Structure 1
Amino acid sequence: MPVLRRPTTGSGRGPLADRFGRVATDLRLSLTDKCNLRCTYCMPAEGLDWMPSAQLLADDEVVRLVRVGVERLGITTVRLTGGEPLLRRNLEGLVTELAALSPRPVLALTTNGIGLAARAEGLAAAGLDRINISLDTLQAETFVQLSRRRRLADVLAGVRAAREAGLDPVKINTVLLRGVNDHEAVPLLEWAMAEGVQLRFIEQMPLDAQHAWQRRTMITAAEIWARLDAHHRLVEDPADALARGSAPAELFRVAGTSHTVGIIAAVTKPFCGSCDRVRLTADGQVRTCLFSQSETDLRGVMRAGASDGDLADIWITALRGKQAGHGIDDPSFLQPDRPMSAIGG
């Protein structure tokens, strides 16, 4: 089980800085561990035991913790994740409340797109700025094989609705699995260019509930680049490289066009040295990294009467313990107990 660190006291104000000089300004906030897909690289076919409702942060608790992060700790971007965040009741209301914070954070959403077609316009009106939609295939039967659900048409409709609602940019997150959908790299890029969305390929990471990930079967960033470049010459603009900062994706422009494609080499070329992220699970636990073996409890102390300053101090202390890197290549690496759906994407 994760180690729960206890509160400290102090000023309750300051940057979320770690021992290595990194400052966290990007909060990844999980709203639920539930999901309406059963993707093979995430969870078993029968699903998982979902968290009891009483353990989840209530809406007012979510808003309070984000307010502490924004007002006291320098959080500038909040990405709402899950599980599947569209399954969270009153999502539009939450977005409205978060957009009203001062200073106003940039609000983003990562979703599988199911149900988005009917809600994209409302989410944009509520204050959502950006959206990432997970899509691993354009083939209906491959979608069923990967997700164990026949919902490809719903996801594609969600992509179109997000674009029409003015959510810009619409980014597509794609994981390639060897022997399953890796042959679709080029068709996915060509589809993204035609749709006017930004494609991001992500190396598969060891975050599955089954702990079945094997590095030797992973499609690497180098393989993805080679497959794409064989059909569409990829160019890395110096300006894009300089502007990358803490962004996880290496951006490449498709030669002769204005279209770009991103490749996120989280395993083979980790970007831990420039990481500016901190994570808050749906049950109110601070995680300094996707692969953390420890968590820091904010929900419990908040419900016990902690002040905003106390909560900020606990958060600051937690970030000081952030490790230099995720350590996937270290022989002692252990996959976290929580799967991706429970941590938050």
Structure 2
Amino acid sequence: MLLDRFGRQAVDLRVSLTDRCNLRCTYCMPEQGLAWLGKPELLTDEEIVRLVGLAVRDLGVREVRFTGGEPLLRPGLVGIVAACAALAPRPELSLTTNGVGLAKVAGALREAGLDRVNVSLDTLDAETFHTLTRRHRHQDVLAGLAAAEAAGLIPVKLNTVLMRGVNDREAPDLLAWCLERGYQLRFIEQMPLDAQHGWDRSQMVTAEEILDRLATRFALTPEPTAVRGAAPAERWLVDGGPGTVGVIASVTRPFCRACDRTRLTADGQVRNCLFATGETDLRGALRAGASDAELGELWRAAMWGKKAGAGVDNPEGIDAPQFHQPERPMSAIGG
């Protein structure tokens, strides 16, 4: 198992397939993009499947989520999903995507064995979408959502980041829109993971503010049957249910004490925390001929060194005075 010094077991693996993205979201990266990893630096499809297989077979991982960058930009994505779906024991397989190219591959991904998708969508307005992403692809995302539902990649989940003065007034409209379509909406507090290192807590829309905005139109009550466990989202029934809404308050209500995640970057580095300041190189060991047993020991050692919260020995995480934003931005870590 992948255990740490605090008794947490990592059963949820996040696998970044690429650091590239076809959007330029203002809270993630600069307009000109970033210096992308070269192809020799990236894990090959076969290397990804081998490491996922090791995690599932020998290290206790039960859930695998493919991320990026934008994972739909990975040419071998469908084949990777199919190979991971064939593993024994079979893990739950999901994908986090911006949805731009989802309409073209939703059916193939479902046929390959993908179970569900999380799609990032921060606005219902096409012009606001362009302001946030610097791209005119709003209709493509909406088409991707419809295609995912039609393909059976359900429940379709939406991830939304609210930006003060840009889209924060849309919270009730976004929830109403999702409830009408049966999508599950999750609001996420903006985290200090931007490439520009320009995150400003005073400008972040907090979970409390999000709930206050939603309460102007909906009655929210904590979901009585929800056992949160390691799930990052706190969930509420909307107008008595059955619809729900979630809020992931990574900054103001950290959930580090129950974290069950381990991360593999596109260039083969294990990160034991989203905010870790160090990594463990599996790619180098793998290409040097390491056995699965040796790779497993490296992975276990990496997780044993996990800090209490957000990369520091303090469960308060981002609120801790010793917190430092990692050098890698979210696009290079994987969501």
| Normalised TM-score (structure 2) | 0.97
Task: Give distance in 2, aligned partners of 1:151 and 1:77.
Answer: 30
The RMSD of aligned alpha carbons is 0.7
Whether 1:215 and 2:201 are equivalent positions in the alignment is yes
Which AA in structure 1 matches 2:246?
G
Higher RCO structure (Cα 8 Å, ≥6 apart): 1
Q: CA deviation at 1:28?
A: 0.3
SS of aligned partner of 1:186: helix
Match of 1:251 among 235, 247, 267: 235
Task: Give distance in 2, aligned partners of 1:280 and 1:270.
Answer: 22
Aligned equivalent of 1:332: 322
Which AA in structure 2 matches 1:54?
P
Aligned equivalent of 1:78: 64
Give identity over the alignment, percent.
63
Match of 2:254 among 270, 293, 297: 270
Whether 1:93 and 2:83 are equivalent positions in the alignment is no
Task: Give distance in 2, aligned partners of 1:254 and 1:194.
Answer: 12
Match of 2:130 among 144, 147, 152: 144
Aligned equivalent of 1:158: 144
Whether 1:288 and 2:276 are equivalent positions in the alignment is no
Task: Give distance in 1, aligned partners of 2:320 and 2:183.
Answer: 36
For these two proteins, the number of residue pairs brought into alignment is 329
Q: CA deviation at 1:257?
A: 3.3
Match of 1:316 among 280, 293, 300: 300
Aligned equivalent of 1:198: 184
| Per-residue CA distance 1:296-341 (angstroms, 9 max, x = gap) | 0000000000000000000000000000001311222211000000
Task: Give distance in 1, aligned partners of 2:98 and 2:229.
Answer: 27
Which AA in structure 2 matches 1:90?
G
Which AA in structure 2 matches 1:186?
P
Which AA in structure 1 matches 2:321?
P
Which AA in structure 2 matches 1:335?
Q
SS of aligned partner of 2:139: helix
Match of 2:9 among 18, 23, 29: 23
Task: Give distance in 1, aligned partners of 2:10 and 2:323.
Answer: 23
Task: Give distance in 1, aligned partners of 2:196 and 2:202.
Answer: 17
Which AA in structure 1 matches 2:2?
L
Matches within 5 A, 1:120-135: 120-135=106-121
SS of aligned partner of 1:161: helix
Aligned equivalent of 2:50: 64
Structure 2 contact 98–121 (Cα < 8 Å) conserved: yes
Q: CA deviation at 1:111?
A: 0.1
Which AA in structure 2 matches 1:325?
G
Which AA in structure 2 matches 1:328?
I
Structure 2 contact 15–266 (Cα < 8 Å) conserved: yes
Task: Give distance in 2, aligned partners of 1:331 and 1:22.
Answer: 23
Task: Give distance in 1, aligned partners of 2:15 and 2:200.
Answer: 28
SS of aligned partner of 1:24: coil
Aligned equivalent of 1:343: 333
Task: Give distance in 2, aligned partners of 1:164 and 1:95.
Answer: 19
| Per-residue CA distance 1:19-40 (angstroms, 9 max, x = gap) | 0000000000000000000000
Task: Give distance in 2, aligned partners of 1:322 and 1:300.
Answer: 21
Aligned equivalent of 2:313: none
Q: CA deviation at 1:97?
A: 0.3
Task: Give distance in 1, aligned partners of 2:255 and 2:44.
Answer: 33
Q: CA deviation at 1:90?
A: 1.7
Q: CA deviation at 1:229?
A: 1.4
Structure 1 runs of 4+ aligned residues shifted over 4 Å read none
| Per-residue CA distance 1:103-127 (angstroms, 9 max, x = gap) | 0000000000011011111100100
SS of aligned partner of 2:117: strand
Q: CA deviation at 1:168?
A: 1.3
| Per-residue CA distance 1:110-150 (angstroms, 9 max, x = gap) | 00001101111110010000110000001011000000000
Which AA in structure 1 matches 2:320?
D
Matches within 5 A, 1:7-18: 15-18=1-4
Which AA in structure 2 matches 1:331?
P
Q: CA deviation at 1:237?
A: 2.4
